[in-house]
A and B are shown apart, each in its own frame.
Chain A
Amino acid sequence: MSEDKQKRTVQTTGHAWDGDIQEFNNPLPTWWLWGFYLTVVFAVIYWFLYPAWPVGEGYTKGVANEIEYVTAEGKTVKTHWNTRALYQQELQMARQKQAEYQQQLAGKSYKEILSDPGKREYAFSVANVLFADNCAACHQDGGAGLAGMYPNLVDDDWLWGGSFEQIQASISDGRNGSMPGFKKRLSEQQLDDVSEYVLSLSEQHRHPAMAKRGESIFNGDGGCFACHTKAATGNPAMGAANLTDKIWTVAVVDPAMSYTEKKDAVKQVISNGIKRTMPAWKSRFNELEIRMLALYVHELGGGE
């Protein structure tokens, strides 16, 4: 402490603790005081310019702060300053910037979009982001899927059909895949036989007699053919898998597995059945977004 300060006569608050501890009552620093006055002035100006004071069932809207925006339906709205109107402006600007591209895509067929590099690039860059935000949680980054749970989109095997229109329908309306479990209707031996038959469609025969019995259950009492067809090539209208190729979309069959392990995996599905749901996306995406996604997914795996 400098000596001047001690010499100066300083006002105190008047209380004393422990006899000699006193509290100074210095004036507020000038810079601080002016800062305070400035905030007061700022507040008063703010009250005039922005929504501020509650009045009855409403509030003062402020002056000279009008926001104008155009809605998606083309309606022009003028309103006082508020964050939701700013948001509408933000959407409007984005719409205007993208309009040029979207108009080029509107009404074009998938083939036309694919054959034009500019349109194709735009559709892919939009769909890529949409896919990552919405689809990748199940179908994984890049669309490889999860064995036995979510279909692989990068191969050329399609449960629900791989044409542009079928993919578009899958995304738009979702899919409900369901296969009943057969463990109550079929005996253990019968389940083994059917598994043997199903596996024999894409693998070397091990037990021709079993497979033969399995085939008669498949196309008879078991009723498997009703969805998978007698040729076992599946039915995209019902999401029934093609059982004759080596691509396994439901049973977790890995090429590295032994024959018995593969058969167990197939038997598991036949016994317990499956239920898989793809949500409908038409409430989250607009039609153009769904079409761009369909195009993207189609190209991921070489659609049909």
Chain B
Amino acid sequence: MRHEKIETNAGLLIVLTLVVISIGGLVEIIPLYFIDETIEEVKVSGVETVRPYTPLELRGRDIYQREGCYTCHSQMIRPFRDEKLRYGHYSLAAESKYDHPFQWGSKRTGPDLARVGNKYSNEWHVQHLIAPRSVVAESIMPNYPWLIENKLAYNDIAERLKALKLVGVPYSRTQAEYEENVKRFGEDVASLLDINRAEENLIKQAEQGNYDGMPGVITEMDAMVAYLQVLGTMVDFKQFEDGHFATFR
């Protein structure tokens, strides 16, 4: 019996088990890297509208993950009519291409947040995060009052962008990379993606946006609300005819 060799050799058994198990995943995943239509092209007048997060939004996203929001909220609207009626257009692959890790999910204790951006006012988000039941009586979401109390730590923001750059998110460090971004995203967005200006950009966005309603102080609430308000807003579906994105499948 040949399998005696495998069964009596733990090292070989582990290696072969891993090989067999990974085949199932690999045959499904690897081809997607080569199929053109996997990630939809979203361009309006020659410029990509899906962009990486700004430094402030990124800090908000980090807090979103720290607080475990993803355990109850997915960010993936599936292509069904009932989902569209409640949340909006189904999510595109392109919309989470700069997410590391992505926030898809199949368990919803709270509503999907893929298109929550611009749905409610900043004031609503602040109030709702501090005390959800003060605005939605039947909510079972926990309170997050510390977000408005904690000053936002952003001294390491450039490092955070660099880490994401390592896995392929197009933040720029050199002049050449910056110019590449200008071509892809336009000048306004490109300047937000410049790692050398990360801290400056973060402070500017927080002060101009004043998401937490407290001018002069940058709290974690600023970052969180800035992040929530951008979710699902990067693709303007009115720019595309109905069914355009179905042609990518």
User: A interface vs B, CB < 8 Å?
Assistant: 13-15, 25, 54, 56-59, 69, 71-73, 75, 77, 79, 82-88, 90-91, 94, 129, 133-134, 137-138, 140-141, 146, 149-150, 275-280, 283-284
The A-contacting residues of B in range 57-105, CB under 8 angstroms, are 79-81, 84-86, 88, 90
Give the shortest distance, in Å, between B240 (CB) and chain A (any CB).
Answer: 11
Contact A58 to B36, CB < 8 A, known contacts A138-B124, A146-B135, A149-B123? yes
Contact A57 to B34, CB < 8 A, known contacts A71-B242, A283-B118? yes
A138 near B238 with CB under 8 A, answer: no
Contact residues of A: prevailing secondary structure: mixed
CA distance A77 to B247 in the complex (A): 9
CA distance A247 to B245 in the complex (A): 49
B121, CB-defined interface residue at 8 Å: yes
30 pairs, A vs B, C-beta closer than 8 Å: A13-B1, A15-B4, A54-B31, A56-B34, A57-B35, A58-B35, A59-B35, A69-B243, A71-B243, A72-B242, A72-B243, A73-B241, A73-B242, A75-B243, A79-B247, A84-B79, A84-B245, A87-B81, A88-B243, A88-B246, A91-B81, A129-B85, A133-B85, A134-B119, A137-B135, A150-B124, A275-B123, A279-B118, A279-B121, A283-B118
B127, CB-defined interface residue at 8 Å: yes
CA distance A141 to B137 in the complex (A): 9
User: B interface vs A, CB < 8 Å?
Assistant: 1, 3-4, 7-8, 31, 34-37, 79-81, 84-86, 88, 90, 118-124, 127-128, 134-137, 213, 236, 238, 241-243, 245-249
A276 near B123 with CB under 8 A, answer: yes
Give chain B residues whose Cβ lies under 8 Å from the Cβ of A134.
119
CA distance A13 to B7 in the complex (A): 11
Q: Which among B36, B84, B90 is the interface contact of A57 at CB below 8 angstroms?
A: B36
Contacts beyond the supplied A57-B36, A75-B241, A77-B243: 7 A-B pairs with Cβ under 8 Å: A57-B35, A84-B90, A87-B84, A91-B81, A137-B120, A149-B127, A150-B124
Which residue among A59, A150, A279 has the maximum number of chain B CB atoms within 10 Å of its CB?
Answer: A279
| Nearest A-chain residue to B8, judged by Cβ | A15
Give chain A residues whose Cβ lies under 8 Å from the Cβ of B37.
58
CA distance A56 to B31 in the complex (A): 9
CA distance A15 to B3 in the complex (A): 11
B81 near A14 with CB under 8 A, answer: no
Give chain A residues whose Cβ lies under 8 Å from the Cβ of B118.
279-280, 283
Give the shortest distance, in Å, between B8 (CB) and chain A (any CB).
Answer: 8
Give chain A residues whose Cβ lies under 8 Å from the Cβ of B135.
137-138, 146, 149
A138 near B243 with CB under 8 A, answer: no
Give chain A residues whose Cβ lies under 8 Å from the Cβ of B124.
137-138, 150
Contact A90 to B81, CB < 8 A, known contacts A137-B135, A278-B121, A279-B121? yes
CA distance A166 to B249 in the complex (A): 43
Give chain B residues whose Cβ lies under 8 Å from the Cβ of A138.
120-121, 124, 135
Give chain B residues whose Cβ lies under 8 Å from the Cβ of A276.
121, 123
Give the shortest distance, in Å, between A122 (CB) and chain B (any CB).
Answer: 16
